[in-house]
Amino acid sequence: MPIVIDLERGKKVAKLLYNSFTTTDIHGRTGMPRDMVPSSVAKGSLGHILFITLTISINYKRDASSLWESSIKTFDDPETKYLFDPKLLHETPLEKIVEDMHRYNLSPRPEKDADIWQRVGVTFYEKWSSDPRNFFKNSNWDSSLIVKRLRTDTHTEKGETAPDYPYLRSPKIRPLWLKMLRDDAGMVELRNLEAIPILVDVHVARATLATGVIRGQFKGTLDELSEDIREAWFQSVEGLNANERPMIAIDMYQPLSHLSMHGCSNRDEIIGNCTAFNNCEARDLCIKGKIKIDKNFVDLET
DNA sequence: GGTTTAATAGCGTAAGTATC
DNA sequence: GATACTTACGCTATTAAACC
């Protein structure tokens, strides 16, 4: 039997996981809680946009909740608030930025994180009058174009071309950033977010297979399977709602990641028994069988 | 522009060490 | 002897750089 893409099941999984992720949690982990906004910033203001933009730029290999907590403290302290002002990031020496980012543990990797932070800020200062919305306007508010430009836009630094948006340009962070700007900062002008495919990494793949949204017999590379996974989520979310707006494929990235990271990765690879089963939000949709994802190779018998 | 490679942080685990 | 703490190491996930 070749693989099947079960959209009915996909819709059930999408509803269930999105709901768990936004209202309670998945295996004890949630995304950025709704109240995680500095007390001294108005929702949707330029300050709020820069807060989200700079913070998510260093959301790499670390605990998300503690990152946002540290960033809020940094924003609410008058002495470190300048770190969210692109013009002041441009004027401040890197050593001081390193020191001030360290005050509330905003930078577990002090040199590297400060470097990313300053560069992203300075790009918005130099190219977009310190306002990311000017970048979006210049891209016709088209999310597909914005995502492309995040990857390709460069500047010259010490005679060499360097990316304008380090880390913010990574495949995983880009869609997350735009989604947060729309959902949390209320940036409704952003168009075509629904056209951005879900990033398929090992977690998204594992959770998609373990919930049986894609099942059957398959042996091959993850790349070969990825197109089916992207398509499965494009179609599964069709017609569903997410907090009074249509659900889109990238809404599923974090819920699926969390399910896999804290749940499905405990599965027995051959039979599919899972030590996290009894406490799993998705146990009613979990299927047994072989799911082996090794490097880029997938071995599926479900 | 896309693909492969090298580098690196975080995590879990196991072994070693200290303390009660 | 049991428990708590420390260190080392290998594995995974992810990025930038190098390469075609």
| Interval A241-255: pLDDT, tens | 988 899 999 899 888
How many angstroms separate the CA of A238 from the C1' of B7? 41
C-alpha pair distances (Å), A54 with each of A11, A122, A211: 34, 11, 34
Sign of the alpha-carbon dihedral angle for A115, A119, A120, A125: positive
Q: For C17, which residue's CA is nearest its C1'?
A: A162
pLDDT in tens, A170-222: 888 888 899 889 988 999 999 999 988 888 888 888 889 999 999 999 887 77
C-alpha pair distances (Å), A183 with each of A133, A177, A188, A243, A245: 15, 10, 8, 9, 10
Q: Which nucleotides of B are covered by protein (CB under 7 A)?
A: 1, 9-11
A272 or A111: whose pLDDT is higher? A272
How many angstroms separate the CA of A277 from the C1' of C11? 24
Spell out which residues of A between 241 and 300 contact strand C, using CB within 7 Å: 265
A267 forms beta bridges with: A274
Q: What is the pLDDT of residue A28?
A: 62
Measured CA to CA, the distance from residue A186 to residue A180 in angstroms comes to: 9
A152: the nucleotide nearest its CA (via C1') is: B1
Q: Which nucleotides of C are covered by protein (CB under 7 A)?
A: 12-17
Q: What is the pLDDT of residue A254?
A: 84
Using alpha carbons, select from A59, A259, A30 the residue that is nearest to residue A175: A59
Instruction: For chain A, give the percent of residues with pLDDT over 70.
Output: 93
Is the pLDDT score of A288 beyond 60?
yes
Q: What is the pLDDT of residue A88?
A: 93
